A and B are shown apart, each in its own frame.
Chain A
């Protein structure tokens, strides 16, 4: 089992992969995938029971990515875990690649479900949890959602049903990075008090620092011990985390770095005060 320090290193590693993938793709989203690095590291390398060699294993924990535009971090984590060879990283968004711009089950079954139009993954995860309960399965159903996606009505339809059905096998993690395409969430469509909203829908709500891997793991453990409700873990994150010029700037929601920007980003991520050279130098 990886130590927390090793997991922290791994999450930084995934950030480097994300930068690399986006530069080669020439399009895509930067801020969300970078700020989700700790969450996906925790899920794939500590929390979830899964088998990269047998992605269809019936008893695997399920992970649905509702905010499909954040696919690069999921791809990076899955490739790091061994679902595909590293060489696939550079095929993101390219013709014929399993790494489609948004997750495509048609092209890569291991991503569980195609997603992109926001809000849809929430319902799919609720359906997966209902199905597991009907079959008396013991696996967990995780769903990563964004904060901007809470604007979608479907999100709340799904939340109502999960509350009604008391789906305790269902654990959501929200990337609360406060940005969406057009600006800051509280300017575009205020979400606060978001925790109270989910509590009012009969969910158990936990708030954590989304860059603290130990806190994420603890929160999931707490969620597993709640037997009467689904859980929403609100992960407070910094958009673009790890790359100084991207952090907290909503303009990085939907664009990739150029090669020059990637050089700076990778030097920052590789630390040693930016002394480690990159393939873009």
Chain B
């Protein structure tokens, strides 16, 4: 059952009434709000102001916006120099380029200096679809969360992305926020609580298994949870008690919540639009191995590059849909002691 305390959109299971908006739109709006609140917020892009949704900030605060051209290493370094001198720079590009191409600058100029640079990685996951594997960032969570001092956030929808932008502006250190390109389901509302580092329960129908995820894939997780919770005994399948956890902050990870859920359910399925290695599954598995070892299955991209295709076609081909989550739940239930 949907967790009523979270004030989620009541139309989640009604595709016709459910709103579909790209997460990057929410971030763009949040960036403007952060800019209104704090005059030190500045924005820089590497020739991608429209698709990263930095354009609204540019129009509103032209004197606080810089386009550095197609030069991501410089983008990161210039942001570091501005942050060293009192600014709160937001930098935007595609996740494959930033933090993909400028990881060393992120590591030394930003994270080692521990500066409030906010990195917006757009078009992450398979969501850039037809552009193909070169532009599909499936490694960005792994390469960012390994760095000391950084916070890594993967908003699940438009509202959460807006809140993440505003929250990032308030934080003293570096923050990476990951976005998808296409319209994705708006699961939450303006009134859904959001606190960095605090995972939230979206669905709760019992204690058999927890589906832990981040980003727009949580929509698939909810569809899977609904199906699993409603299965009729006549079909030979048992109804399952399922929880769905929105782990929007990958780092610092919410150990307390993961521990509580691990103890209660004893089995996790992790859902992400990322390589199986080093992403959300990696973060959850590392954590649980230390605090509460339980069987964990993953629904991730299986150590392979993507390809051209529509987003939905790719999600299907690479096994990231609700039906794949249901299968993974079946596997983890068999491993459960």
The interface of chain A, by Cβ under 8 A from chain B, is 62, 64, 104-106, 112-117, 119-120, 122-132, 134-135, 153-154, 157-158, 160-161, 164-165
Contacts and interface: CB of A to CB of B under 8 A. Distances in A.
A160 B47 CA distance: 14
Contact of A135 (B68, B80, B86): B86
A161 B81 contact: no
Given A116-B108, A130-B66, A123 B73 contact: yes
29 contacts: A104-B112, A106-B113, A113-B80, A113-B113, A114-B113, A120-B109, A123-B74, A123-B105, A123-B109, A126-B74, A126-B78, A126-B81, A127-B77, A127-B81, A127-B82, A130-B81, A130-B82, A131-B82, A131-B84, A131-B85, A134-B42, A135-B85, A153-B73, A154-B74, A157-B68, A157-B74, A158-B74, A161-B68, A161-B69
A144 to B, nearest CB: 15
Nearest to B68: A161
B85 A161 contact: no
A274 to B, nearest CB: 42
A128 B85 contact: yes
Given A134-B42, A153-B73, 18 more contacts: A106-B113, A113-B81, A116-B108, A117-B104, A117-B108, A120-B105, A123-B78, A123-B81, A124-B77, A126-B74, A127-B82, A128-B85, A129-B81, A130-B78, A131-B81, A134-B63, A154-B105, A158-B74
Contacts of B73: 119, 123, 153-154, 157
Given A115-B108, A157-B68, A124 B80 contact: yes
A115 B113 CA distance: 9
Contact of A131 (B68, B74, B86, B109): B86
A17 B83 CA distance: 33
Contacts of B64: 134
B87 interface: yes
Residue among A62, A116, A157 with most chain B CB within 10 A: A157
A114 B108 contact: yes
A136 B311 CA distance: 47
Nearest to B112: A114
Contacts of B109: 113-115, 120, 123-124
B114 interface: yes
Nearest to A126: B78
B76 interface: yes
B81 A124 contact: yes
A126 B77 contact: yes
Q: Tell me the dominant secondary structure on chain A's binding face.
A: helix
A9 B84 CA distance: 34
B61 to A, nearest CB: 11
B55 interface: no
Contacts of B85: 62, 127-128, 131-132, 135
Contact of A128 (B82, B104, B105, B113): B82
B87 A131 contact: yes
The 10 closest A-B pairs by CB, nearest first: A127-B81, A123-B77, A157-B74, A157-B71, A127-B78, A124-B81, A131-B85, A128-B81, A127-B82, A154-B73
Nearest to B73: A154
B79 interface: yes
B136 to A, nearest CB: 24
Contacts of A132: 85
Nearest to B148: A106
Contacts of A128: 81-82, 84-85
A86 to B, nearest CB: 27
A157 B114 CA distance: 23
A112 B113 CA distance: 9
Interface string B88-101: 01000000000000
A128 B81 CA distance: 5
A114 B148 CA distance: 15
A173 B81 CA distance: 18
Contacts of A157: 68-69, 71, 73-74
Contacts of B42: 134
Contact of A105 (B86, B87, B104, B113): B113
Contacts of A64: 81
Contacts of B82: 127-128, 130-131
A18 to B, nearest CB: 24
B113 A122 contact: no
Nearest to B64: A134
Contact of A123 (B69, B76, B86, B114): B76
